[in-house]
Amino acid sequence: MRILVVGASGTIGRAVVKELGQRHEIISAGRSSGDLKLDVTDRGSIDAAFKKAGALDAVVSVIGKVKFAPFADMEAADYAIGLGDKLMGQVNLVLAGRKHLAEGGSFMLTTGVLDSDPIVAGSSASMVNGALNAFVMAAAIEMPRSIRINAVSPGVIAEAMKDYGAFFRGFEPVPAARAALGYAKSAEGAQTGQVYRIV
């Protein structure tokens, strides 16, 4: 398969490229690195990247900024970060990409453990992850040309604990390589409308 990995230079993205790259052709994309430059907050950038990518069998999205802060300090603009980037960035990848994927192709979006196991200062991430999971389940029943769509919801990534460990006390970290298996299960499987929880 020809698989576009958006966010390929990130911690999970690198693991996904390593896993799927053993068997498939990978086209990497990101804001500042990769085979293609792609800014998920800019629909024009997304459209241009898909045009340059050519025929695709799958799209993996491992991107998404959200604001971590105590709820008492959060304002509408803080929530807008996650809504515009992680949520609508991934939704726009699907909206643009559905026209470029081969029949029977697949999308894999990224949510995260906070969709079902919230933490202090994580209300934005929980909101966005939950919305993406619901989007995946609903979009799956209307996808054209037998295109599939799933979400991967990993726990806190072990390699990121140095940055996020203080937020995730008591959580068992997930190695990025194990999280990458969720994307392989989605890309190389047959299910759709699923949320693969990697914990």
pLDDT of residue 142: 98
Q: Which residues pair with 152 in a beta bridge?
A: 110, 196
Indicate the residue type of 136: V
pTM of the complete model beyond 0.85 = yes
Indicate the residue type of 105: G
pLDDT of residue 196: 98
The strands making up 195-198's β-sheet, listed across from edge to edge, are: 36-37, 25-30, 2-6, 56-61, 101-110, 148-154, 195-198
What tens-digit pLDDT sequence spans the chain (199 residues)?
999 999 999 999 999 999 999 999 999 999 999 999 999 999 999 999 999 999 999 999 999 999 999 999 999 999 999 999 999 999 999 999 999 999 999 999 999 999 999 999 999 999 999 999 999 999 999 999 999 999 999 999 999 999 999 999 999 999 999 999 999 999 999 999 999 999 9
C-alpha to C-alpha distance for 115 and 95, rounded to whole angstroms: 22
In this structure, what are the phi and psi dihedrals at residue 87, rounded to the nearest 5 degrees?
-75, -70
147: domain range? 2-198
pLDDT digits (tens, 9 = 90+) for 18-36: 999 999 999 999 999 999 9
Domains in the chain: how many in total? 1
CATH of the domain at 191: 3.40.50.720
pLDDT of residue 21: 98
Separation in Å, CA 26 to CA 58, 83, 143, 180: 10, 28, 23, 14
pLDDT digits (tens, 9 = 90+) for 150-177: 999 999 999 999 999 999 999 999 999 9
In the chain, count H helices and then E strands.
7, 7
pLDDT of residue 95: 98
